[in-house]
Amino acid sequence: MPRPVIAAVGASRLGRTALPGRDLFSVAVDEAFEGLPAPAELVGALYAGNQSERYENQIMHGTLLAEWAGLRYVPAERVEGCAAAGALALRHAVTDVRNGEHDAVLACGVEKMTAGGTDVATASLAAAFDRAIEQRSGVTAPSQYALLARRYLHETEATERDLARIAVKNHRNAARNPRAQFGETIDVDTVLESQPVAPPLKLFDCAPVTDGAAVVLVTSAETAAELGVPAVDLAGTGAAANNIAVAERDMTHIEGARIAAERAYAEAGVTAADIDIAEVHDAFTVSEALLSEAAGFAPVGTGYQSHRPPAERDDGWTDVALSTSGGLKARGHPVGATGLLQAVEAYEQLTGVAGERPGDPPEGAPSSPETALLLNEGGVADAVTVAHVLTAAPEVGR
């Protein structure tokens, strides 16, 4: 059975831009394939993560992006799972390579969220809620996560200041990331004094509306070795879907994410304690706290300590460094591309590229990480969650 690896990655700068989605995708493809044969000479299939057709009034993203990558007559399809669309595209690519269907598959994601303005972005994200139970009541994504945050603050010793510190940590990491939407650090008072969005969540507790694209080239280990490129093993993958309506779930125990992560760990032959770095879906600051617990990094009720250096966390925490890219919160959150941006960060960390960034390294991050977890969710919390475990593959392409 072929061993799937990530052989190349690329991404656009993140934030508001005049470029349409297809041009953002072209920027990402050009970066990924610099020094490699053209996509048409390598790629056997394409999966495109895309959250909503409302932004640019465009469906058929699989066909569109295949065309813009110079691919003709390959299988190409759009994958939808709200904010988990990118990770689902990556999971499909891994499956294809592992099953021997193709030697190389392109997983990509794109979202032009600013195209329709705030109203369109709000409505598009709300389409991920249960229509009968939630949408008709007028709830928005921030208000849904505010329910989770309020409950979490009630059940644990966490405070709004603790959530603010998560934002501060992620902005500090984003300041080192050349692709990030936000390049400046902030302090706790900036978060606490920012405009309320859905109490207890404030403006700086929330990920921004973002334009961006990312691509990940998944190949067999043999193909990566022939190309002579640094590669990262896609050692394990897992996915799980929970009830779509938040009212029918436990708001502070993200069970679907726990199951997805455990499936990925089992396939990779690792445990949570083996993970050096993790990109978790921090669309809101409370999300990083909740997913730290779901991934097995933190004892229940202590995930809010993710901003602390490992030595200052409670007993039972692992030494993992979280959201080294700046996370959705500060790197940016172009919804359909988010899961793939997580993979871009992990690839660059595990191959040493990220070590060349200016400034202090992320809090608690090892100088040479060997294992990473990607945890990407769609809908509110874990309506669908996809997990990948990536490990350094020094014997491939080096």
User: 73 is written with which tokens?
Assistant: 């007559």
pLDDT tens sequence across 110-168: 999 999 888 899 889 888 888 888 888 888 899 999 999 999 999 999 999 999 999 99
Q: How confident is the model at residue 395, as a pLDDT?
A: 64
Under a CB-based contact definition with an 8 Å cutoff, are residues 264 and 387 in contact?
yes
Q: Inform me whether the pLDDT recorded for 397 exceeds 70.
A: no
d(CA 195, CA 48): 35
Helix axes 21-32, 61-68, angle to 10 degrees: 50
Chain mean pLDDT for the chain: 94
Q: How confident is the model at residue 263, as a pLDDT?
A: 98
Under a CB-based contact definition with an 8 Å cutoff, are residues 270 and 318 in contact?
no
Report the relative pairing of strands 384-392 and 371-378 from DSSP bridges.
Answer: antiparallel
Provide the CATH number for the domain formed by 4-117+209-227 in this structure: 3.40.47.10
d(CA 159, CA 22): 42
Q: Name the pLDDT band for 1 (thresholds 50, 70, 90).
A: confident
pTM more than 0.85 = yes
d(CA 51, CA 246): 19
Residue spans per domain, the chain: 4-117+209-227, 140-208+235-392
Q: How would DSSP label each residue in 106-165?
A: EEEEEEEGGGGHHHHHHHHHHTTS-TTTTGGGT--HHHHHHHHHHHHHHHSS--HHHHHH
Q: How confident is the model at residue 398, as a pLDDT?
A: 42
d(CA 388, CA 268): 9
Q: Inform me whether the pLDDT recorded for 276 exceeds 90.
A: yes
Q: Which CATH number fits domain 140-208+235-392: 3.40.50.1820, 3.20.20.140, 3.40.640.10, 3.40.47.10?
A: 3.40.47.10
pLDDT tens sequence across 344-364: 999 999 999 888 787 777 877
Under a CB-based contact definition with an 8 Å cutoff, are residues 330 and 182 in contact?
yes
Domains 4-117+209-227 and 140-208+235-392 share a fold: yes
